[in-house]
Amino acid sequence: MSAEIPPAEFLSETRGGVLTLTLHRPDALNALTATMLRGLAEAVTKAGRDQAVRAIVIAGAGRAFCAGADLGDVKVRQAQGRFEHGAELRRTFNPLIAAIRRVEKPVIAAVRGAAAGAGASLALACDLKVCAADAKFLNAFAKVGLVPDSGMSWFLPRALGLSLALEHAWLSRSIDAEKALRLGLVNRVVAPEELDAAVAELCAALAAVPPLAVALTKRAFNRGVEAVSLEDQLEYEAQLQSHLGRTKDHAEGIAAFLEKRLPTFTGE
């Protein structure tokens, strides 16, 4: 059964092949509720089956991307005996992170303002990150006596290296947009008023790439960052190329190159 998503918490819009999912609790800095998490996971999974969707954007309404879990809600539910951290991660947070990594379409985080705790994890789980100059990442878990979760302990060491990731996690010092760009944590930083246009431009560029090549490149890279040997990955690449080499999009790409024209890709 589909999750029922209160309109005030979660917005979804598809335009020009781009699905934009907007966290919509601006007064709470888009802090995540269980309903939002389930709705996002369902929307991302559904988009993976929709050939009309070429890219997915995750954004936040108002002045922040996402403040992480709604700690007020956590406290109330703990007092009622209805909250246990591990169970909650398995039920709501983890399925969303897994869905983002599993969907074989580009997922872009449009980050404005704070991305804290699980909100930072959500941004890092996305394939590409475009940030406004006022964006900042905060690993806030230690401040509330917890370890980084929602994939943070997996994504951050791979992005920053072990030492910088540990320092960031232990001391909870924010990383501003420019530093995040220098460290390779994000792809692009733009003026706040240019964020939407920059994301739209990136989505348009991605839409021009053959969708099967996009899908299998993400699959290959996901596998490549796991603990596999170079020999295994070389063989896996060969298997993917065997498949893609028989597609109409590959033939179209070759023909367009030789004919010096723009290609038209159909996902076949």
Interval 48-71: pLDDT, tens: 999 999 999 999 999 999 999 887
Inter-residue contact 130 to 195 (CB < 8 Å): yes
Tokens representing 16 are: 């020009």
Looking at the fold, whether 175 and 252 belong to one and the same domain comes out as: no
pLDDT exceeds cutoff 70 at 83: no
Residue 76 counted as domain residue: yes
Q: Bigger pLDDT: 157 or 235?
A: 157
Q: What domain count does the chain have?
A: 2
Residue 4 counted as domain residue: no
What pLDDT sits at residue 3?
52
Domain that holds residue 251: 211-259
Looking at the fold, whether 178 and 220 belong to one and the same domain comes out as: no
3-state secondary structure the chain: CCCCCCCCCEEEEEECCEEEEEECCHHHCCCECHHHHHHHHHHHHHHHCCCCCCEEEEEECCCCCECCECHHHHHHHHHCCCCCHHHHHHHHHHHHHHHHHHCCCCEEEEECCEEECHHHHHHHHCCEEEEECCCEEECCHHHHCCCCCCCHHHHHHHHHCHHHHHHHHHHCCCEEHHHHHHCCCCCEEECHHHHHHHHHHHHHHHHCCCHHHHHHHHHHHHHHCCCCCHHHHHHHHHHHHHHHCCCHHHHHHHHHHHHCCCCCCCCC
Looking at the fold, whether 196 and 254 belong to one and the same domain comes out as: no
Looking at the fold, whether 180 and 235 belong to one and the same domain comes out as: no
Residue 164 counted as domain residue: yes
Looking at the fold, whether 78 and 176 belong to one and the same domain comes out as: yes
Distance CA 125, CA 189 (A): 18
What pLDDT sits at residue 260?
87
Chain position carrying tokens 């996305």: 126
Q: Average the pLDDT over 163-189 and give the result.
A: 95
Looking at the fold, whether 69 and 27 belong to one and the same domain comes out as: yes
What pLDDT sits at residue 37?
94
Looking at the fold, whether 136 and 100 belong to one and the same domain comes out as: yes
Distance CA 3, CA 142 (A): 31
Looking at the fold, whether 191 and 220 belong to one and the same domain comes out as: no
Q: Average the pLDDT over 226-244 and give the result.
A: 80
Looking at the fold, whether 227 and 100 belong to one and the same domain comes out as: no
Looking at the fold, whether 154 and 234 belong to one and the same domain comes out as: no
Residue 1 counted as domain residue: no
Q: Average the pLDDT over 202-225 and give the result.
A: 94
Looking at the fold, whether 158 and 228 belong to one and the same domain comes out as: no
Q: Average the pLDDT over 12-35 and give the result.
A: 95
What pLDDT sits at residue 146?
84
Residue 202 counted as domain residue: yes
Distance CA 119, CA 205 (A): 26
Lowest-pLDDT range of 164-173, 214-223, 258-267? 258-267
Residue 266 counted as domain residue: no
Taking each helix axis from N to C terminus, what angle separates 94-102 and 34-48, rounded to the nearest 10 degrees?
20
What pLDDT sits at residue 55?
98
Looking at the fold, whether 55 and 95 belong to one and the same domain comes out as: yes
Residue 2 counted as domain residue: no
Q: How many residues does the chain have?
A: 268
CATH number of the domain bearing residue 179 = 3.90.226.10
